[in-house]
Amino acid sequence: MGLLEGKVGLVTGGGSGLGRATCVLAAREGSKVIVADIDEAGGKQTVAEVEAVGGEAAFVSTDVADPEQVKAMVAATLSQFGGLDWASNNAVGGAGGFHALHETEDHTWRRTMDVTLDGVFYCMREEIPAMLERGGGSIINIITASVSKGEAMLGSYIAAKGGVDALTRTGAAEYSARGIRVNSVAPGGFNTPAIARYFERFPEDRERTIAQHAMRRIAEPDEIAQPVIWLASDRASFVTGACVLADGGINVNSHLL
Ligand SMILES: NC(=O)c1ccc[n+]([C@@H]2O[C@H](COP(=O)([O-])OP(=O)(O)OC[C@H]3O[C@@H](n4cnc5c(N)ncnc54)[C@H](O)[C@@H]3O)[C@@H](O)[C@H]2O)c1
């Protein structure tokens, strides 16, 4: 029997990278999945990959920065699959690029906050009542291994993820007694088409990125999806308010080796 047999889950940003890997692994473990994304082609591709492993999924077009669309996303989950047991708030977005703080423009800051921080708040606000209705659930927010140390040139992204980290622990404090566990996963670098394209353009950054990890490699998305699925499952029944580091040792890396 799979880890998520009979459960219903929802993954934002399910149309690419970690979100897609989470949907496919969840389906392998017996969960039905709602794939929510702003990118219809990517989302539908994920649905096809879920079906290819014998799972059941549906795509719901969603911009997580829009509270009305987030409300509709959870309503669609309930009408399609009859409830919600777990959700991974994974979508990330913003204006992109690397900017020092004093050169960060309003629109860069604003869009990053709208999608990456406000989006998680809107999602939690809709997911929690659906899970309370079900008698409990599990929320897994995706942050980043750099959240506690900061990251040069990525101020708006790191600030948004710091907010998600705080929302995660606040959610755990408020809802654990009512059966909803709220945790985060903090990934190190992992392989996505966007990162592969970036490394092709800036090969010297590939070496620098790999050297940040004590394991001297970046991950495949499936290696990050594994702890997400574990947190979603009843195996993690006493885990709440935690941050699972899946960072290949970024946080223990030493310059002496
Ligand atoms: N890739 C890495 O190395 C890395 C490292 C640390 C943390 N993370 C985190 O992991 C998570 C997944 O990252 P990824 O690399 O798989 O991302 P990705 O860019 O491959 O996928 C992100 C998905 O989010 C969707 N999205 C963007 N804006 C949206 C919006 N407004 N509403 C709904 N969906 C939207 C995109 O269409 C895309 O499908 C993110 O939270 C990211 O911050 C990634």
Q: Which domains does the chain have, with CATH numbers?
A: 8-246 (3.40.50.720)
Spell out a b/e string for 37-52, using b for 16 or more CB atoms within 10 Å of the CB, else e: bbbeebbbbbbebbee
- Minimal-distance CA residue to ligand 1 atom 15: 17
The answer, yes or no, to whether any atom of ligand 1 lies below 6 A from the CB of 94, is: no
Ligand 1 center to 54 CA (angstroms): 25
The answer, yes or no, to whether any atom of ligand 1 lies below 6 A from the CB of 120, is: no
pLDDT at 97: 85
The mean pLDDT of 226-247, rounded to a whole number, is: 98
Helix (H, G, I), strand (E, B) or coil at 113: helix
Chain-centre distance for alpha carbon 177: 24
Q: How far apart are CA 94 and CA 99, in angstroms?
A: 12
Q: Are 20 and 245 in contact (CB under 8 A)?
A: no
Closest of 43, 48, 11, 44 to residue 26, by C-alpha: 11
Ligand 1 center to 221 CA (angstroms): 11
Query: What are 2-31's pLDDT values in tens digits?
Result: 999 999 999 999 999 999 999 999 999 999
Query: What are 187-202's pLDDT values in tens digits?
Result: 999 999 889 988 998 8
Using CA atoms, how far residue 31 sits from 10, 82, 87, 112, 140, in Å, is: 10, 13, 11, 30, 15
Q: Are 171 and 129 in contact (CB under 8 A)?
A: no
Ligand 1 center to 76 CA (angstroms): 22
The answer, yes or no, to whether any atom of ligand 1 lies below 6 A from the CB of 64, is: yes
pLDDT at 33: 98
pLDDT at 51: 98
pLDDT at 115: 98
The mean pLDDT of 159-181, rounded to a whole number, is: 98
The mean pLDDT of 122-141, rounded to a whole number, is: 98
Atom of ligand 1 nearest to the CA of 189: 3
pLDDT at 252: 95
- Minimal-distance CA residue to ligand 1 atom 7: 144
- Minimal-distance CA residue to ligand 1 atom 1: 190
Known catalytic residues are 157
Q: How far apart are CA 175 and CA 161, in angstroms?
A: 21
Helix (H) or strand (E) holding 89: strand 86-89
Mean residue pLDDT of the chain comes to: 96
Q: How far apart are CA 132 and CA 216, in angstroms?
A: 42
pLDDT at 95: 72
pLDDT at 257: 83
